[in-house]
Structure 1
Amino acid sequence: MVQLGGNRYGKAEVRLVHVARGAGASGADLIRDWNVGTSLSGDLADSHLTGSNAKVLPTDSQKNKVYALARELGGDVAPEVFGVELGSFFVSSQEPITRARVSVDEYGWTPVGAAGYSFARAGDLVRTTVVHVDAAAGTTVVSGLKDLVVMNTTASEFWGYPKDRYTTLAETRDRILATSVTAAWRFRPEAVAAGVDWDAAFRAGKSAVLETFAATYTYSLQQMLYAIGSALLDALPAVCEVRLSLPNKHHYLVDLAPFGLANDREVYLAGDRPYGLIEGAVLADDAPEPGIAWD
């Protein structure tokens, strides 16, 4: 015997660029460049077990609602606001649907020139948002960022670790520490209900990551993870849990002795793969249980 387990369906990677005409300073345009994903779950067993589509809102309809909602909300709207509105629409308008997950990745643009309509992509950093709207558990909002590449050229060590017959890594008292930060922070339910200045919260979170990375002397990337998570909780009182993923972007000192050259921590090979991957969560003492998975 077999049985149907948890399931969901939706539309992935809906690319949306919204231009808020004249909404910026001195009448400049504002850009919101998003990659939106929707995922719905609920009373959908029939579609799997019998092939009936009577309860399956087409993913094409979900895509079209993304574009329509962008026009309906108008202006310079934070991705968290958009995610809550979109998820709430699906749960309230489709009787079989009891839970909606909405993800929004935002790509930044920097104004160029004085005309107010020219922009340049603002690097690789991506602002992330995941919203769950659940008919029973309520609304969960998780904000964050990914692809924030940072480096300390010194102020990091790595030594004192256990060694076995496979250990070839030499201990170091001075190394480059580099990583690509992925951070996600879960807001307290009462903060979501009361309202959050989402854009200000994102700026504060990003600043906390950067300032902590620059100011922390480390003996491991794990130590950096805990320092960043703690700083985010301090900077964002409305947040109760932080999850971080920090790949170790290795830099290896190149041996220039065969060429008769000294290399006093100047020339490095930037390693691609494999790499160490450090992941973990930092929680406030009174963090409530999330109720639902918030991946």
Structure 2
Amino acid sequence: MAIVLGGNRYGKAEVRLVRVDRDSARHELTDLNVSVSLSGDMTDTHLTGANEKVLATDTQKNTVFAFARDGIGSIEAFGLRLARHFVDSQEAIHHARVTLEQFSWTRLEIDGEEAPHSFARRGDGTRTATVHYDGTQAWVVSGISDLTVLNSTDSEFWGFPRDQYTTLAETKDRILATAVTASWRHSTTETDWDASYSTARKSLLSAFAGTYSRSLQQTLYAMGERVLQTDPAIAEVRLSLPNKHHFLSDLSPFGLDNPGEVFYAADRPYGLIEGTVLRDDAPPAGPAWD
């Protein structure tokens, strides 16, 4: 029986990068978390320890900072620049994956006027991107994580199977809340990345708000469908929606009624609904989701 080396990759994880654009008195702030992963002709390195084909992970980190000196732009474009550089400049590297998170900041105000260089971290979701490049073709997946949303009504859950272990009551009116993690695969790299992200985010929120939900699965499909309807360059949407349960609090021990106004927001356990919505003629995904 032979023992052989299987798939492998290596890189620098979670390079924290902040760039301040100072072209005017009104500064712009870009706050990223960048991870690089490379693969290729690494057999000798694993079997003998030879390092002549290994681009040091410290060099990868330095490259991220050096490329930021010329500006970042959209995270998808920045990821493409990095991925193409690593593959095209290193003979032994055949594939690069760059994942990026962008943290949002909002401007502070001074006496009702925007402060030119003061910011506060926002909590309205983290923009994400994953870029792959193999020397010939590039794949880009954009997305958002930790986008917490809630509908205080227009949600039901009933008609589900009941067995000896079922205690959950059916409901025709409930709070529906989730923290959206969504990613969408582009069919082209010739895209206005910022406009595409803005449209997709608005589509997710609009579908969540506008869907009368009889299940979180129904809402998931509506959100993915809306993204595909509003951007023909997106081939596929994947969503992960934890059900942030809100249970009606029993106030009867205190002689009080509770007409759907006071809830216990449960932390865990939680239902987790995941799914993919795609065009039936979508091009192959390649390694986009890896």
Shorter-normalised TM-score: what interval? over 0.9
Deviation at 1:123, TM superposition (A): 1.2
Write out aligned runs for 1:249-288 (5 A): 249-288=244-283
1:107 to 103, 119, 140: 103
User: Does the residue aligned with 2:122 lie in a helix, a strand or coil?
Assistant: strand
Distance 1:197 1:51 in 2: 43
2:42 corresponds to: 44
Structure 1: segments with no counterpart, 5+ residues: none
Alignment deviations for residues 145-170 of structure 1 (CA, whole Å, 9 cap, x no partner)? 00000000110000111111111111
Distance 1:247 1:139 in 2: 31
Deviation at 1:49, TM superposition (A): 1.3
Moved over 3 A (4+): none
| Alignment pair present for 1:214 and 2:209 | yes
User: Does the residue aligned with 2:125 lie in a helix, a strand or coil?
Assistant: strand
Could you say if the C-alpha distance between residues 115 and 247 of structure 1 is closer, same or farther in structure 2, counting changes exceeding 3 Å?
A: closer
1:13 corresponds to: 14
Q: Which one-letter code corresponds to 2:59 in the other structure?
A: S
Deviation at 1:259, TM superposition (A): 0.5
Q: Tell me if the contact between 2:107 and 2:115 (Cα under 8 Å) persists in the aligned partners.
A: no
Deviation at 1:119, TM superposition (A): 1.1
1:125 corresponds to: 125
Alignment deviations for residues 25-56 of structure 1 (CA, whole Å, 9 cap, x no partner)? xx511111000000000111111111111111
1:56 corresponds to: 54
Q: TM-score w.r.t. structure 2 length?
A: 0.96
Q: TM-score w.r.t. structure 1 length?
A: 0.94
Could you say if the C-alpha distance between residues 140 and 44 of structure 1 is closer, same or farther in structure 2, counting changes exceeding 3 Å?
A: same
Q: Tell me if the contact between 1:254 and 1:269 (Cα under 8 Å) persists in the aligned partners.
A: yes
Alignment deviations for residues 6-39 of structure 1 (CA, whole Å, 9 cap, x no partner)? 111000010000111136xxx5111110000000
Number of residue-to-residue matches in the alignment: 285
Distance 2:36 2:179 in 1: 26
Write out aligned runs for 1:91-102 (5 A): 91-102=87-98
Percent identical pairs in the alignment equals: 58
Q: Tell me if the contact between 1:180 and 1:246 (Cα under 8 Å) persists in the aligned partners.
A: yes
Distance 1:95 1:176 in 2: 55
User: Does the residue aligned with 1:209 lie in a helix, a strand or coil?
Assistant: helix
User: Does the residue aligned with 1:291 lie in a helix, a strand or coil?
Assistant: coil
Distance 1:233 1:158 in 2: 26
User: Does the residue aligned with 2:267 lie in a helix, a strand or coil?
Assistant: coil
Please identify, of 111-120 and 161-170, the stretch whose mean Cα deviation from structure 2 is larger.
Answer: 111-120
User: Does the residue aligned with 1:47 lie in a helix, a strand or coil?
Assistant: helix
Structure 2: segments with no counterpart, 5+ residues: none
Deviation at 1:253, TM superposition (A): 0.5
User: Does the residue aligned with 1:173 lie in a helix, a strand or coil?
Assistant: coil
Alignment deviations for residues 80-135 of structure 1 (CA, whole Å, 9 cap, x no partner)? 11000000000001101000000110001112233411111111510001000112
User: Does the residue aligned with 1:11 lie in a helix, a strand or coil?
Assistant: coil
Q: Which one-letter code corresponds to 1:133 in the other structure?
A: Y
